[in-house]
Chains A and B, each alone.
Chain A
Amino acid sequence: MKELVIISGKGGSGKTSVAASFAVLAQPAVIADCDVDAADLHLLMSPRINERHEFHSGHEAVIRQEDCIGCGACLAHCRFEAVVRMPTTFGSNSVCKDCEFCVRSCPVRVNEMIRAMRESSGYQGDEAAFYIDPVACEGCGVCVQFCPVQAIDFPECLCGEWMVSDTRCGPMVHARLGIAAENSGKLVCTVRREARRIAEERNHELIIVDGPPGIGCPVIASITGSDLVLAVTEPTPSGEHDLKRVVQLARHFGIPMAVCINKWDINEDMSARIETFCNEQSIPLAGKIRYDQALTRSQIQGQAVVEAEKHGAAADLRNLWAAISATLLQFSNHAA
């Protein structure tokens, strides 16, 4: 079984359009959408969802207000500015200006001591109330550990869901990260693991992974241990710059790589430069796709461009797929 991952560094360079066309041309293959942040492949594959699974990952600190004694130990220990202090009321003769210095500097974090300091300075208001901003909370659990009265709960987070579906091109695993949720890398790992399981079950030889943009955790989670990375780029300064970083990334993890240039004809000089770069780095240029509005048209119709068209970019994509499948076959022969 081979796993092909399509990435790009720069977003919007055409990963998903390429992945959808490959899914049509490669049948039967398992399709995995690992751009869990902003998944779009389902818009072209119209999956019929068979299974939905909640994705739980990490924990989130929540202060039980009825048990909080307002000592501020959580605020003092949080490095992510996730602890928010509610405004409190003050007596008019108070020396206390609510600067929180006592809370932050008390070496023993003893609530009684802080309370005594405040009272001696004329503090009359309500106890300070604290709460944790769920968006800023890193889920490290330090506040939970150091709350002197164990008033902080630490439930597991629901970070999104992942789905197993059928499409006209074969099975598909995809996911949706929750709003402002974290741990997209772990969700990517889940999607890949399920795709592999299905490929083994149904004896499919190939998994096509639509990867996320960038070079960070979700990209690393998408490419590690895969068989071939196809980097889609475009002939612009950003496309070139981001391609170089993606090449370094694939090298760093020792994964074989090929490149394709999308919209290569919008700047032929830049395309030539990228081609030279690939030659120098001994990275095969697997193909070039011309600028073609048919890609947008087929997107609007919810199709891969190779389903809608024969010529233009669709023909380029067929050639690209021929080159990529030949490379994958070579790998299989080597392995055998």
Chain B
Amino acid sequence: MKIAVASGKGGTGKTTVATNLAWVASDRGHGVAYLDCDVEEPNGHLFLNPRISVSEPATRLVPEVDEAKCTYCGRCGEICQFSAIVCLGRAIVVNPDMCHACGGCKLVCPTGAITEVPREMGRIDRGDAAKVQFVRGLLNVGEAMSPPLIRKVLAAAPHTDLVLIDAPPGTSCPVIASLRGSDYVLLVTEPTPFGLHDLKLAVDMVRALKLPFGVVINRADSGDERTRAYCASNRIPILLEIPDDRRVAEAYSRGELACVGMDEYREAFANLLNRILEVAQSPRQTGMGA
């Protein structure tokens, strides 16, 4: 089962929830993999402290033009929707940063002048953190597109009975790429106007993706009641409320997992896991009804 942890707003506690869940699930005997899909700013390793056994470059394909064979017909530039290859008179300009690796230019080239060559976009690290199998992507600084690397992280998932996906913030392409193929989505929010506003965007997004989901409210006593009211009136299950506990913030600021040091949090995350497993099996309770 693949559980993705997402949120519209950043900094609501995705990584806290995903890492604690991974740890608790492995503690309860599940085979667990944790995938850090926030490849722009991955943070899971700071809390899980994995031993990285394999670190390899991740590449995507970009076109290379053999100008000896090129007739400058311009068909590559015509098919490219991303201005990644442009034919200007008797010159071909390739802009690999813009390339989405669709392969169109190579397919349309009548003289076989275009080949696709791998270009490094980041790294994929694999290892283990105690009983949790750990995978993360790290996007090279200056690289614009994260979805190709996210797809590689997902493809590198080990075959465990539980896979936890730590998604990036927001609601656009990197998040969509991270959620693809998930069985359940946990939306982490905080009960502030920003948190609620972005939760609504995230709910619209997971509904568009037709994925079952539930909500975790972090720092639950810090804001107002509007988030709970919204969830209630939209029949969205709130699976866990994490109080605004200074000890949790302090553990976080030291790079520690709340559920390792504090029994009540281990209990809370174990309950969360059980509720997800329960709820994911009964489609009427998944927040998709409304």
- Residues of chain A touching chain B, judged by Cβ–Cβ distance below 8 Å, are 8-13, 16, 37-38, 40, 43, 58-59, 77, 79-80, 135-136, 138-142, 145-146, 177, 179-182, 184-185, 212-220, 235-238, 241-242, 245, 248-249, 252-253, 266-267, 270, 293, 296, 299-300, 302
> In the complex, which of the residues A142, A179, A185 contacts B144, with contact meaning CB atoms closer than 8 Å?
A185
- Name the 5 nearest CB pairs between A and B, nearest first: A11-B10, A12-B11, A140-B102, A37-B170, A214-B40
Residue of B nearest to A220 (CB): B144
A79, B101: Cα distance in complex, Å: 8
> In the complex, which of the residues B41, B47, B172 contacts A181, with contact meaning CB atoms closer than 8 Å?
B172
Residue of B nearest to A244 (CB): B141
> In the complex, which of the residues A40, A213, A237, A253 contacts B46, with contact meaning CB atoms closer than 8 Å?
A237
Render B93-121 as a binary contact track against A, CB cut-off 8 A, 1 for contact: 00000001111100110000000000000
> In the complex, which of the residues B142, B204, B253 contacts A179, with contact meaning CB atoms closer than 8 Å?
B204
Does B146 sit at the interface, judged by CB under 8 A? Answer: yes
Task: Assess A179 versus B208: contact at CB under 8 Å? Given A58-B81, A216-B145, A241-B41.
Answer: yes
Q: Are A135 and B209 in contact (CB under 8 A)?
A: yes
Does B91 sit at the interface, judged by CB under 8 A? Answer: no
A10, B141: Cα distance in complex, Å: 14
Q: How far is the CB of B200 from chain A (nearest CB, A)?
A: 10
- For the A-B complex, the count of residue pairs with Cβ-Cβ distances under 8 Å equals 178
Q: Are A238 and B193 in contact (CB under 8 A)?
A: no
A41, B95: Cα distance in complex, Å: 34
Q: Are A179 and B102 in contact (CB under 8 A)?
A: no
Set of chain B residues within 8 Å of A237, measured between Cβ atoms: 43, 46-47, 253-255
A266, B198: Cα distance in complex, Å: 25
Set of chain B residues within 8 Å of A10, measured between Cβ atoms: 10-11, 41, 43
Set of chain A residues within 8 Å of B176, measured between Cβ atoms: 135, 180
Set of chain A residues within 8 Å of B107, measured between Cβ atoms: 77, 142, 145-146
A275, B79: Cα distance in complex, Å: 50
Q: How far is the CB of A19 from chain B (nearest CB, A)?
A: 12
The dominant DSSP class at the B interface is loop
Residue of A nearest to B7 (CB): A11
Task: Assess A11 versus B11: contact at CB under 8 Å? Given A216-B143, A299-B194.
Answer: yes
Q: Are A179 and B205 in contact (CB under 8 A)?
A: yes
Q: Are B222 and A296 in contact (CB under 8 A)?
A: yes
A211, B248: Cα distance in complex, Å: 28
Set of chain B residues within 8 Å of A248, measured between Cβ atoms: 141
Set of chain B residues within 8 Å of A266, measured between Cβ atoms: 249-250, 253
Q: How far is the CB of A222 from chain B (nearest CB, A)?
A: 12
A249, B144: Cα distance in complex, Å: 11
> In the complex, which of the residues A43, A142, A180, A236 contacts B252, with contact meaning CB atoms closer than 8 Å?
A236
Does B168 sit at the interface, judged by CB under 8 A? Answer: yes
Given contacts A43-B193, A217-B146, A236-B252, 12 further A-B contacts (CB under 8 A): A37-B201, A38-B170, A40-B193, A77-B103, A179-B171, A179-B204, A181-B172, A213-B10, A266-B253, A270-B253, A299-B192, A299-B193
> In the complex, which of the residues A38, A142, A145, A302 contacts B8, with contact meaning CB atoms closer than 8 Å?
A38
Q: How far is the CB of A231 from chain B (nearest CB, A)?
A: 12
Set of chain B residues within 8 Å of A216, measured between Cβ atoms: 40, 139, 143-146, 174
Between B168, B193, B250, the greatest number of chain A beta carbons within 10 A of the residue's beta carbon is seen for B193
Residue of A nearest to B224 (CB): A300
Task: Assess A182 versus B141: contact at CB under 8 Å? Given A79-B101, A213-B41, A296-B223.
Answer: no
Set of chain A residues within 8 Å of B141, measured between Cβ atoms: 215, 245, 248-249, 252
Q: Are B253 and A140 in contact (CB under 8 A)?
A: no
Does B173 sit at the interface, judged by CB under 8 A? Answer: yes
A135, B142: Cα distance in complex, Å: 26
Does B284 sit at the interface, judged by CB under 8 A? Answer: no
Q: How far is the CB of B144 from chain A (nearest CB, A)?
A: 4
Q: How far is the CB of B62 from chain A (nearest CB, A)?
A: 13
> In the complex, which of the residues A40, A139, A179 contacts B81, with contact meaning CB atoms closer than 8 Å?
A139
Can you give 14 A-B contacts (C-beta < 8 A)? Answer: A8-B10, A12-B10, A37-B171, A43-B194, A140-B100, A179-B208, A214-B38, A216-B40, A216-B143, A216-B145, A237-B47, A266-B250, A299-B192, A302-B193
